[in-house]
Chain A
Amino acid sequence: MSIENLKTIDPFADADEDAGQTKQTQESYIHIRIQQRNGRKTLTTVQGIPKKFDHKKILKVIKKEFACNGTIIDNTDSKGMGDVIQLQGDQRNKIKEFLTDKDNGLGLDEKTIKVHGF
């Protein structure tokens, strides 16, 4: 058993993997921001949803669930920020719940989500 354990733990390989993972997680923060428009209108932008998800489908579900409109701003329009989902109104809490929900949402880790704004 002990030998078996020793075999599975390869210190060097682990270190490399760890470094890669931390880099990935640092870059793959999901930023939820809010912007004020005229009057009491606001926009919510979600930046950095992993590419393995289909953004269009996510948007379709969100639009129905939150009863709001929204668009996907692709990489060319967002000046290299990647695909950004833009929603109308202050949807920060709802979108956070959606992203972390395991049953009906994406089931992402809460630590990777950063909510900005007031």
Chain B
Amino acid sequence: MVSDSIDGSKETAQSHTPPPTHDAAPADGATEVPADDDGLDLSLLKKKKKKAKKAEDDEEPAAAEDANDGDAAAEEGALDLTLKKKKKKKVTKETEDDFAKKLEALQLEGKEGEEPVAAAAEVDEQDGDMEKGTGIWSHDENKIINYDPLLSRFFVLLTQKNPDHASSGSKSYKIPPPQCLREGNKKTIFANIADICKRMKRTDEHVTAYLFSELGTSGSVDGSRRLVIKGRFQQKQIENVLRKYIIEYVTCKTCRSPDTELNKGENRLYFITCNSCGSRRSVQAIKTGFSAQIGKRKKMQG
């Protein structure tokens, strides 16, 4: 129907364009349409008149749209003479309250054909009463509850009973990606190390030492607290190393919370204390390990 109407509107536009003698084009369409439809359907005609009045009240573009709609409905009558009057009436009703109509139709279909849809609708109706314990949620109710409402009930209860759990689940641990710049050809500048260390609550020195030992290089800190690393490194590579650092030195192994503190305990051992679950574990000190001499010959010569 809709496609028909669209086609019709186009055709009407074409057919109407030559004759117009009035001032405003949209007003023309609206006024002329009833004239065309006079002999066909009285009900339609009445509709048209109302619409035309509305169009006059409204602004011009809106009026044009209304007129087109009217044309569409009218043209169906005009072009499809074979169509029964019932259909025309349906069209007019749709223009009146098409949404309500469609909804009704949908509901009818659901009730006739698909049982689950109907069941879902019923459940939806009763869903609001969950907290009060009425409807399907009442204690002595024997109706089978569908999966979806049960699932939603589970999550509602979960968030109600332990809010911290839900909050920790939703809030992921985020660290800004490392910003890597190239200084010259052989050095990489890790620009936002201070920011990242602040987020992780670790000292710059500790992170720097870990980075150097993992990357097997050395480097220095420049004036604006940026880290200058010897060697070419991509942002992704630094990110990987940072991930390793977070797993090893930041996250709590018991509750996986990143909210931890690194302290120097007795006997030169480093301990991680978790702020959320209170567990304490020792971590290995950063070892540099073996690093091969690079550019030995140069040094020997110089």
Contact = CB atoms under 8 A, between A and B. Distances in A.
Interface of A: 31, 33-38, 43, 45, 47, 73, 78-79, 81, 84, 86, 116-118
Interface of B: 186, 213-217, 231-234, 236-238, 240-241, 289-292, 294-295
Query: Which of B213, B216, B289, B290 neighbours the largest number of chain A CB atoms within 10 Å of its CB?
Result: B290
Given A118-B233, A118-B237, A118-B241, A36 B292 contact: no
Contact of A47 (B233, B234, B237, B289): B289
A31 to B, nearest CB: 5
B214 A117 contact: yes
Contact of A43 (B232, B236, B289, B292): B292
Given A33-B216, A118-B215, 20 more contacts: A31-B289, A31-B290, A33-B289, A35-B291, A36-B216, A36-B217, A38-B294, A38-B295, A43-B292, A45-B292, A47-B289, A47-B290, A73-B290, A73-B292, A81-B290, A84-B290, A117-B215, A117-B216, A118-B234, A118-B238
Contacts of A78: 290
A45 to B, nearest CB: 6
B240 A118 contact: yes
Contacts of A43: 292, 294
A59 to B, nearest CB: 15
28 contacts: A33-B290, A33-B291, A34-B216, A35-B216, A35-B217, A35-B291, A35-B294, A36-B217, A36-B231, A37-B294, A38-B294, A43-B294, A45-B291, A45-B292, A47-B290, A73-B290, A79-B290, A84-B290, A86-B292, A116-B214, A116-B289, A117-B215, A117-B216, A117-B241, A118-B215, A118-B233, A118-B236, A118-B240
A31 B213 CA distance: 12
A35 B293 CA distance: 10
Nearest to B241: A118
Nearest to B291: A35
A31 B291 CA distance: 11
